Amino acid sequence: MISSEQGLFGEFGGRYVPEILRPALCQLEDIYQQLRSDENFWQEYLQLTQEFSGRPTPLTPLPRLSESLGGAKIWLKREDLNHSGAHKINNVLGQALLVKRMGKQRIIAETGAGQHGLATAIIAARMGLQATIYMGSEDVERQYSNVFWMRQLGAEVVPVSHGSCTLKDALDEALRDWAASVDDTHYVLGTACGPAPFPELVTYFQRVISQEIRAQAKHQIGALPNAVVACVGGGSNALGAFCDFLDEPSVRLLGVEAGGRSQQPGQHSIRLQGDLASPGIAQGYKTLFLQNRDGQLGETHSIAAGLDYVGVSPVLADLVARGRVDATSATDSEVTHAFQLLMRYEGIIPALESSHALAGGFALAKKMQPHEHVVINLSGRGDKDIFNIAQALPQQEWLDFLKREVTRTEQRLRESANNPNREEQYVSNV
């Protein structure tokens, strides 16, 4: 299990926030430190993940794809089968238990692909809390199905329309809100980034992934896997999948970043490899950021909304610097190809974020021996990506469907404008 020296991981991490946020972060740190050594709390957390999210998620072999690629045997850790469709719910359920202990009534969150926002809206509905979710306006467009669900669940979704209109801008806005509302509000940060204790706290809850992989691999493979592969946005699913293998040098750990369209500035989100990113302090912590010489944060791109973040977990930055975790990247077109391979060979529809891990994992498996085993963390399912995929693989049939859908929606809106009572048949105010 990872732990920090006062929130520091090597040269990365720390807590660089306005004075007003310090008491809330200290309170969170105290509660986390108390609960971290409390086995009953971990059991309460596990019970919640089982009852509400369907854990443990299975470890699924991919026999047809492994045979076709011709290298190691490939397995998927099925975080896509969590309630709400991604690993993000693991962290949200853990932080929900902390909110209960702190007695706060409102939660806020930032979201990129919308999966963390969706998980937060779900837990707010379940616990009767007020929720506000900040989301870059570009991500609102890219992941509108999640925006729709968050609003139906009763959360307020606030589009952020400045900067690159993506995750880093949403995170800034959430920190700003928190500074003004800290007395009654908890910030449910969605990845292993931000000021201490968030990187460690989020990793702590996501650790359930590697705990399960370990037990399942021993049972199903008869040994630990030779490699574990995960995609890296902020770093939470990767750290969750790697955590319990950090002290097992025989297990190779590989993080896959978004290679985007090219390695030109603004066309990718590669922070852990080469010198495309450099150390800096922003958004409350020190890590590797994509930035110019003046320290201005750079633009990012990925086909996957959840991976185009400008920084990366300080925990991962340190593990890569120390050589314990390797990093690679997959381009948008490699990702689309891996996405199609998994669907066609194994009947599983992955999220675009997770398809980065697939692309990196397939390339690694091909270089390995048939008696070896690779586990790829499938962080989420692809339902939310239907519009992006339909654009990446354009088909007339899809365009015709969209046109019919627009016509139907316009007609329904006209009908309800002409007859306001009729609207009640469709929408009831709770």
The residues that touch ligand PLP, with contacts defined as CB under 6 A, are 86, 112-113, 115-116, 191, 231-238, 306-307, 351, 353-354, 379-380
Q: At its nearest, how many Å lie between ligand PLP and the CB of residue 416?
A: 34
At a CB cut-off of 8 Å and minimum separation 6, what does 83 contact?
Answer: 52, 53, 54, 89, 122
Query: Residues 110, 200, 346, 353: which is the catalytic one?
Result: 110
Q: At its nearest, how many Å lie between ligand PLP and the CB of residue 342?
A: 14
* Catalytic residue list contains 379: yes
* Catalytic residue list contains 110: yes
Which CB, 7 or 199, lies closer to ligand PLP? Answer: 199
Omega before 56 cis (within 30°)? yes
3-state helix, strand, coil in the chain (%, to 5): 50, 20, 30
What whole-number distance in Å separates Cα of residue 109 and Cα of residue 99? 13
Orientation of helix 198-206 relative to helix 88-102, angle to 10°? 120
* Catalytic residue list contains 88: yes
What whole-number distance in Å separates Cα of residue 424 and Cα of residue 26? 47
Which CB, 210 or 368, lies closer to ligand PLP? Answer: 210
Orientation of helix 22-36 relative to helix 88-102, angle to 10°? 100
Neighbours of 404 (CB within 10 A): 10
Which CB, 45 or 242, lies closer to ligand PLP? Answer: 242
Query: Residues 73, 77, 88, 168: which is the catalytic one?
Result: 88
Neighbours of 70 (CB within 10 A): 9
Contact 209/355 with Cβ under 8 angstroms? Answer: no
Nearest 5°: phi and psi at 70? 85, 20
The angle subtended at Cα 18 by Cα 188 and Cα 174, nearest 5°, is 30
Which CB, 112 or 284, lies closer to ligand PLP? Answer: 112
CA pseudo-torsion sign 258, 200, 204, 153: negative
Q: At its nearest, how many Å lie between ligand PLP and the CB of residue 236?
A: 3
Q: At its nearest, how many Å lie between ligand PLP and the CB of residue 384?
A: 8
Q: At its nearest, how many Å lie between ligand PLP and the CB of residue 55?
A: 16
Which CB, 29 or 257, lies closer to ligand PLP? Answer: 257
Which CB, 116 or 373, lies closer to ligand PLP? Answer: 116
Closest CA to 119 of 98, 159, 146: 146
Active site residues: 88, 110, 379
